[in-house]
Amino acid sequence: MANNAKEKKPGLGKYLKSVRSEIKKVTWPTREDVLNYTAVVLVMVFVAAIAIGVMDTVFKFLFNLFA
């Protein structure tokens, strides 16, 4: 019974082959896509930073006004 209970584990070589196979199936973005996505992220970070800065200034003003 002990022999039947043993299951052979897949080896590292088989794992790496399957990883390589899956990586080949990935549709990688073009350089232009990456640059566009990067620009969008940077613009959104800038907009968020400005919005947070404005809200901080407004809340600081209101706090000082009522304090």
In this prediction the pTM is 0.61
Q: What is the DSSP code (8-state) at residue 10? A: P
Residue 40 CA to residue 31 CA, distance in Å, equals: 14
- The pLDDT of residue 9 is above 90: no
Question: Per-residue confidence at 67, pLDDT binned at 50, 70, 90?
Answer: confident
- The pLDDT of residue 5 is above 60: no
Residue 36 CA to residue 16 CA, distance in Å, equals: 32
Contacts of 56 (CB under 8 A, 6+ apart): none
Q: Where are the domains of the chain?
A: 29-67
